[in-house]
Amino acid sequence: MFFYKNNELYVEDVKVSDIALEYKTPIYIYSKNHFENQYKKLDQKITRKHLICFALKANSNLAVINTFAKLGAGADVVSAGEIFRAKKAGIDTTKIVFSGVGKTQEEIKYAIENNILMFNVESFEELEEIENVASSLGKIAQISFRVNPNVDPKTHPYISTGLKKNKFGISYTQIIDAYKLANQMKHVRIKGIQFHIGSQLTDVSPFFEAQLKVANIMKELLSLGIKLDIIDIGGGLGVVYENEQEPDLDQYSNFINQAFKDFPDSLIVLEPGRFLVANGGIFVTKVLYRKQNEGKNFYIVDGAMNDLIRPSLYDAYHKIEPVVKKNVAKVQADIVGPVCESGDFFAKSREIDNLERNDLVSIFSSGAYGFTMASNYNSRCRPAEVLVDKDTVKVVRSRETFEDLIRGEAI
Ligand SMILES: Cc1ncc(COP(=O)(O)O)c(C=O)c1O
Ligand SMILES: N[C@@H](CCCC[NH3+])C(=O)O
């Protein structure tokens, strides 16, 4: 959905430079059809009965969530705020799964009142809290446990979650006891089991390793008379940022079928975030100034780490290209923002077209963990977001104003 025609970058049927002219920079631009295609691709590949719960943390713009809601998606949420967003965007609350290691009492209450599908419980103490809140409301909370399967996802250490040293889930050795305890509680109903081992996995074999461990737990539970209706296999499917191999979805689906062949009636829940949205978004920014320090080239652009933090936080690679290609010589340059931090960069020593002031550049693969991780650091207004559907451009979040910056503050 993002391509060059006559050296001009397009999103679907619209020139990116036209969008930048009208709505200014920096700006996030999304392709609705990319989102829909990714969802349908995954939906078709998974042959078992399943429910795709979009992980809202990847991109929680209402219009983006609504695009998936219309295709039948549920939501994977990690806060009451995300439940609120999911509802506003048209997600059926009975398709919401609630993950996260630190759900507060208020969040648990809000989730129960909204009849979510289930809590993915991450500790014994959290289980007790859910039992207590449900009891005080006179309701029954549906739960699954998040197991930490101790599997190496072979991804960036900051986004690995399924190793025993990570804070996530209940350890493999304690998980049966957790189910036994829940089984005796009056206000929780056991629905399933969940795991999520990390993000940006392009090799799907660690998923299989985790799935086999989960299937073993399920067998042990069955021998204790505990049958699970739901197997939540988390998110984590990776995408191509640079030259990675795309995850093999056929293999992914076969692994699921194989690992859980003894549980043919259980519903498979998936929690993809990045896979659905990363390559459906670009971040467009404008060159403000150029300078050379000690022979090093810097392009200073109007976007910054507060808008897109992945390069600063993970040293993540994002492809960067001019919006209009001029067939000029290449140079090596750091592409940096105006924020007062040396960590404020989008690329270092990157080979890129020799740019001029006011040239636009596109930072690709910014649809996931882009705007959702943006902040107002340095009192910078967060950028606008637009959604393109063929030849239609819609502002789905307007650029923040100075008034937005101080909302709620007082002297
Ligand atoms: C519990 C849970 N589910 C789903 C996701 C979505 O992950 P991804 O964007 O890698 O698919 C995450 C984030 O990694 C998560 O923590
Ligand atoms: N925010 C991360 C991924 C972490 C996933 C959240 N569980 C990224 O940009 O890649």
The rounded distance, in Å, linking the Cα atoms of 245 and 251 is: 13
Ligand index nearest the alpha carbon of residue 158:
2
Residue 272, annotated as binding a ligand: yes
CB-ligand 2 contact for 318 (6 Å cutoff):
no
Give the N- to C-terminal CA distance of the chain in Å, as an integer: 48
> What average pLDDT does the segment 109-136 reach?
98
Mean pLDDT for the chain?
A: 96
113, two tokens: 């009142």
- State the distance from the centre of ligand 1 to the C-alpha of 273, rounded, in angstroms: 6
> What average pLDDT does the segment 227-243 reach?
98
Whole-model pTM?
A: 0.97
- State the distance from the centre of ligand 1 to the C-alpha of 264, rounded, in angstroms: 25
Closest protein CA for atom 4 of ligand 1: 235
pLDDT at 157 exceeding the cut of 90: no
Q: Give the model's pLDDT for residue 163.
A: 67
- State the distance from the centre of ligand 2 to the C-alpha of 293, rounded, in angstroms: 33
Closest protein CA for atom 2 of ligand 2: 369
pLDDT at 161 exceeding the cut of 80: no
Residue 271, annotated as binding a ligand: yes
CATH of 2-30+278-406, one of 3.30.1050.10, 1.10.540.10, 1.10.3710.10, 2.40.37.10: 2.40.37.10
Residue 314, annotated as binding a ligand: yes
Over the stretch 68-104, which tens digit does the pLDDT of each residue have?
999 999 999 999 999 999 999 999 999 999 999 999 9
Confidence of residue 160 (pLDDT cuts 50, 70, 90): low
**For 100-270, which CATH class?**
alpha beta
Q: Give the model's pLDDT for residue 94.
A: 98
Q: Give the model's pLDDT for residue 168.
A: 82
CB-ligand 2 contact for 159 (6 Å cutoff):
yes
Choose among 259, 253, 271: nearest CA to 48.
253
ipTM for the assembly: 0.98
Ligand 2: atom nearest CA of 316 is 10
Ligand 2: atom nearest CA of 57 is 6
Over the stretch 296-309, which tens digit does the pLDDT of each residue have?
999 999 999 999 99
User: Is residue 11 within 8 Å of residue 390, measured between CB atoms?
Assistant: no
Number of residues in the chain: 411
How far, in Å, are 88, 206, 249 from residue 47 at the CA level?
Answer: 30, 20, 11
Only one residue has tokens 């409301």, namely 137
Q: Which of 56, 57, 371 to mutate to test the pocket of ligand 2 (most atoms within 8 A of CB)?
A: 57
Q: Domains of the chain: which residue ranges? A: 2-30+278-406, 100-270
Question: 3-class DSSP state for residue 361?
Answer: strand
**DSSP code of residue 370:** S
> Which listed residue (340, 349, 351, 407) is catalytic?
340
Q: Which of 56, 57, 277 to mutate to test the pocket of ligand 1 (most atoms within 8 A of CB)?
A: 57
> What average pLDDT does the segment 117-133 reach?
97
User: Is residue 143 within 8 Å of residue 175, measured between CB atoms?
Assistant: no
pLDDT at 330 exceeding the cut of 70: yes
User: Is residue 131 within 8 Å of residue 187, measured between CB atoms?
Assistant: yes
Same fold, 2-30+278-406 and 100-270: no
